[in-house]
Structure 1
Amino acid sequence: MQSQEKHQESTVVLILVMFTSFITPFIGSAINLALPMIAHEFGLNAITMSWVTMAFLLSSAVFLVPLGKLADIFGRKRVFLTGNVVLALASLLAVFVPNGATLIALRVVQGIGSAMMFATGIALITSVFPPNARGRAIGMNVTAVYVGLSAAPVLGGLMIDALGWRSLFYIPALLGIPAVIAAILTIKGEWAEAKGEKFDILGSGIFIVSMCALMYGFSKLPSTVAIVLTAVGLLGLALFVKLQMKLEYPVFNVSLFRVNRLFALSNLAALINYATTFAITFVLSLYLQYIKGLSAREAGLLLVIQPLVMAVIASWSGRLSDKHDPRILASAGMGVIAVGLALLIPISKETAVTYIGVVLGILGLGFGMFSSPNTNAIMGSVEKRYIGLASGTVATMRLVGQMLSMGIATMVIHVFIGTGTINASNHKQFILSASVTFAIFVALSVLGVWASLARGGKNGNQA
């Protein structure tokens, strides 16, 4: 009987985590299609327009580590449900924003709510599923992420064309609270393996300020102020690491990276993977609408190819990683990504839409092969008491990688077209910036293949 109750609880946990894993990427991806419309309504230039996406990523990335630790101390379910409420309320307010600044501010709040869910989702799944079923559950959750990414271009494009860009926030605003009520009624357990430990407020503050300085500065390169901010961010993170190594209860156990090779290199591979992939949708969305003249709905129908393939492959590769070495699967995925990115370098105004579709399919195959096995390798490489930390680290690598990806794309666009709006007079420069961005991503992908292979096999976590 008890075993049946545990099975029911684990099933409910998986469904709820999958639900939030669908909503968050849906909003993050669909907003890219709405950027030209938002920029037109609020008079935003190309750089400010990118911050509608980056504000969400930045706040998610900087709060993930502290929130992951708080979840370990006070309960993962509690933090997870609070995140759902914060995201729902911020989304409701975003429907009525009067200007670009307010929208960006609410995107920051949405990011904090999402960080609460990112930091706890995988940890909750790992807590309730045994090791022999964990890869399958993680694979299903990754599939939910990719289904959200798949729905975003189609459903998001249709909603934008029919109801305007504000309609994108209807879904999290209307469905977030019912999900919380369902969770309270059905999930009786709570998981807080670090209960009673002290929370490192100073370290958390240094981490948040340093990450903000680094990410904001990086996105504004190559200006002098940006160089200074980037340097300050890096120095702050070095100080953070030094402090964490001395504490009995650090907010982030950096020693794991030093003694656990599998954990360290799997996280590096994840960081590089997201740094090479996230901005592809951003760049291609602008390319398809500004250069090829497609509507948001038409661009969305094409961009859906990539996450659709990802959704199909991720579940299969997750199950496969329960039986075979995740390193080989993930490394092969990174190699496929590098090939797909290389095929995007020569795009021009004359490039056929069919060609873009085929390349997006190749990229989707690579992403699907990489994500589930790599996440399974990370979560399986740590002791139970570090599951919350590992979950937060996975999510941090994803969001920092996505932020770096957007930072690279924005920096290259800034170099080629400055702070002006994208228009007919600078289309040639924009296309060139896209090609340079994809070339940088290819180089990073090759580095990612090395990181994925260098970690060793399933016993790679031995010091």
Structure 2
Amino acid sequence: MLHSTRAALGLRQNLAQFMLLVAVNALVGGTLGQERTVLPLLASQTFHLDLYTSALTYILAFGLSKAAMNYFAGTLSDRYGRKPVLITGWLVAIPVPLMLIYGPSWERIVAANVLLGISQGLTWSTAVIMKMDLTGPKQRGLAMGLNEAAGYLGVAVTALATGYIASAYGLRPGPFLLGAAYIALGLGLSVLTIRETHHHAKTEAFQHVSAHRKADACLTTGQVFTLTSFKDRSLSAASQAGLVNNLNDGLAWGLFPVLFVTSGLNVNQVGILAAVYPAVWGAGQLFTGAASDRWGRKWFIVAGMIVQAAGLAIVAASHSFGAWLIAAVLLGLGTAMVYPALLAAVGDVAHPTWRARSVGVYRLWRDGGFAVGALLSGLLADLYGIPAAIATVAALTAASGLVVAVRMRGSDHPARQKLV
């Protein structure tokens, strides 16, 4: 009798719900994408912020609030269920487009990004957790690739669209009306079509044949934080790589548009470059996530960090649209290699009973990279110029890849990795 009530695991068995969650995450990405092209230009052209450190405060606010909510999303979804957390994330986003459209001061724009970070932390984290719940261990890389591809293709399409809207109709209000439509649609889908998946995680925990010690299934939240952040070799390597990855994404978000405009590119060209990077990132994950299921996570992550570093170095050394386009492709390709493999690596090692919390801790560190990137790149740009800031972050990205090479355990069967 008990056996008959267990949820079926697997992508094929849960395809309809999985694809609905993919669609929801595309809308989550689009909600973020409304800012990628426009907000750096709003800072310089509308609010006349001269210091890069000041202009990047919106990324700092976004990164801190998103990182914090990533952490709580895992704990809350274990306690109250996944769906209520997802819906709450959409509700928090409702005021954001209005604040971006009508905000009379930069402080109001920063406040909007605090809310956006909270919303993104709740919605994106929960979408990740729900897909892990549905698919089980065998296709986790594929699931994460599809999830992140949808999200960042949403970012890319919206960054491109808002670039064209801004060039035709101005920086406000047009680009942010698109974000408002995404929020309305995402909330409606989440309320009406998405079903709870927590019972799938409980089924996997019951079936879990693991090399983990028995006690590993019963960790406190504090123990999960320490293990994911510092103690376990693979989890801690993933956490630092995630932080550095989003550090360089925060730099790209905040400083690339300013660099491109001051070098003579028009808003349409800036929109193209702002879209190509997440577009390659998004589309590439359709392949890299599944490939990491077959060949393991570690070397995808190492190679991806090195490719990102190369793309950043080209941006720092170049002065033309063509060179920057090549760099954007490299940066997107490297990130596509890293992103789903890192998430899947955390899912491989974490026990199903505390996996949501471990994913939350990893995403705390990863999206904390936005805040670190905003502070570091802003200070370096103010002191030494944008190219020097980009070159420094390129070196940090390469070093992070080397840390993964040394510290993370490799495995031909990534779902069978053991805790240290």
TM-score band by shorter chain is 0.7 to 0.9
Where does residue 388 of structure 1 map in the other structure? 356
* Matches of 2:44 and 2:230, distance apart in 1: 45
* Matches of 2:199 and 2:39, distance apart in 1: 39
State the superposition RMSD in angstroms: 2.7
**Is residue 297 from structure 1 mapped to residue 268 from structure 2 by the alignment?**
yes
Displacement of 1:249: 4.9
Residue from 326, 343, 358 that aligns with 1:375: 343
Where does residue 436 of structure 1 map in the other structure? 388
Where does residue 316 of structure 2 map in the other structure? 345
* Matches of 2:227 and 2:254, distance apart in 1: 36
Residue from 57, 68, 80 that aligns with 1:51: 57
Where does residue 234 of structure 2 map in the other structure? 262
Residues 194 and 135 of structure 1: CA distance in aligned 2, closer, same or farther (over 3 Å): closer
Which amino acid in 1 is paired with 2:386? A
Number of positions where the alignment pairs a residue of Structure 1 with one of Structure 2: 389
Where does residue 409 of structure 2 map in the other structure? 456
* Matches of 1:453 and 1:170, distance apart in 2: 44
Residue from 79, 85, 94 that aligns with 1:79: 85
Residues 305 and 60 of structure 1: CA distance in aligned 2, closer, same or farther (over 3 Å): same
Secondary structure of the corresponding residue to residue 294 of structure 2: coil
* Matches of 1:179 and 1:73, distance apart in 2: 23
Superposed CA deviations along residues 122-179 of structure 1, whole A, max 9, x for unmatched, are 1111111122222212101111232133224321211212233232322232232332
Secondary structure of the corresponding residue to residue 322 of structure 1: helix
Which amino acid in 1 is paired with 2:21? V
**Is residue 116 from structure 1 mapped to residue 122 from structure 2 by the alignment?**
yes
Residue from 147, 154, 173 that aligns with 1:148: 154
* Matches of 1:175 and 1:144, distance apart in 2: 14
Residues 461 and 448 of structure 1: CA distance in aligned 2, closer, same or farther (over 3 Å): farther
Where does residue 13 of structure 1 map in the other structure? 21
Report if the CA contact (8 A) 2:71-2:361 is conserved.
yes
Residues 94 and 132 of structure 1: CA distance in aligned 2, closer, same or farther (over 3 Å): same
Which amino acid in 2 is paired with 1:109? L
Displacement of 1:68: 2.8
Displacement of 1:377: 1.1
Which amino acid in 2 is paired with 1:103? I
Which amino acid in 1 is paired with 2:303? A
Displacement of 1:79: 0.8
Superposed CA deviations along residues 234-272 of structure 1, whole A, max 9, x for unmatched, are xxxxxxxxxxxxx95549632344553211111222112
Displacement of 1:190: 4.7
Secondary structure of the corresponding residue to residue 272 of structure 2: helix
Displacement of 1:194: 11
**Is residue 399 from structure 1 mapped to residue 381 from structure 2 by the alignment?**
no
Which amino acid in 2 is paired with 1:98? P
Displacement of 1:53: 3.0
Where does residue 280 of structure 1 map in the other structure? 252
Matches within 5 A, 1:391-430: 391-416=359-384
Report if the CA contact (8 A) 2:141-2:341 is conserved.
yes
Task: Give the structure-2-normalised TM-score.
Answer: 0.84
Superposed CA deviations along residues 403-445 of structure 1, whole A, max 9, x for unmatched, are 21121111112324xxxxxxxxxxxxxxxx1221122112212
Residues 255 and 337 of structure 1: CA distance in aligned 2, closer, same or farther (over 3 Å): closer
* Matches of 1:182 and 1:358, distance apart in 2: 37
Residues 377 and 319 of structure 1: CA distance in aligned 2, closer, same or farther (over 3 Å): same
Residue from 188, 191, 211 that aligns with 1:184: 191
Moved more, 123-132 or 273-282: 273-282
Which amino acid in 1 is paired with 2:393? F
**Is residue 91 from structure 1 mapped to residue 48 from structure 2 by the alignment?**
no
Secondary structure of the corresponding residue to residue 341 of structure 2: helix
* Matches of 1:178 and 1:359, distance apart in 2: 34
Moved more, 272-281 or 102-111: 272-281
Matches within 5 A, 1:193-272: 248-250=220-222, 253-272=225-244
Residues 194 and 334 of structure 1: CA distance in aligned 2, closer, same or farther (over 3 Å): closer
* Matches of 2:154 and 2:95, distance apart in 1: 20
Where does residue 169 of structure 1 map in the other structure? 176
Secondary structure of the corresponding residue to residue 56 of structure 2: helix
Superposed CA deviations along residues 169-216 of structure 1, whole A, max 9, x for unmatched, are 222322323322322322332528999xxxxxxxxxxxxxxxxxxxxx
Residue from 38, 41, 57 that aligns with 1:36: 41
Residue from 105, 130, 133 that aligns with 1:127: 133
* Matches of 1:192 and 1:29, distance apart in 2: 37
Displacement of 1:316: 0.5
Report if the CA contact (8 A) 1:285-1:299 is conserved.
yes
Displacement of 1:77: 1.2
Report if the CA contact (8 A) 2:306-2:334 is conserved.
yes
Superposed CA deviations along residues 48-75 of structure 1, whole A, max 9, x for unmatched, are 3222333222221233323331222111
Where does residue 291 of structure 2 map in the other structure? 320
Which amino acid in 1 is paired with 2:354? Y
* Matches of 2:14 and 2:286, distance apart in 1: 23
Superposed CA deviations along residues 206-239 of structure 1, whole A, max 9, x for unmatched, are xxxxxxxxxxxxxxxxxxxxxxxxxxxxxxxxxx
* Matches of 2:25 and 2:155, distance apart in 1: 16
Residues 42 and 283 of structure 1: CA distance in aligned 2, closer, same or farther (over 3 Å): closer
* Matches of 2:181 and 2:145, distance apart in 1: 27
Which amino acid in 1 is paired with 2:275? V
Residues 305 and 257 of structure 1: CA distance in aligned 2, closer, same or farther (over 3 Å): closer
Where does residue 62 of structure 1 map in the other structure? 68
Residues 359 and 175 of structure 1: CA distance in aligned 2, closer, same or farther (over 3 Å): closer
Percent of aligned pairs sharing the same letter: 20
Residues 291 and 121 of structure 1: CA distance in aligned 2, closer, same or farther (over 3 Å): same
Displacement of 1:369: 1.5
Which amino acid in 1 is paired with 2:236? A
Residues 305 and 110 of structure 1: CA distance in aligned 2, closer, same or farther (over 3 Å): closer
Secondary structure of the corresponding residue to residue 95 of structure 1: helix
Displacement of 1:110: 1.9
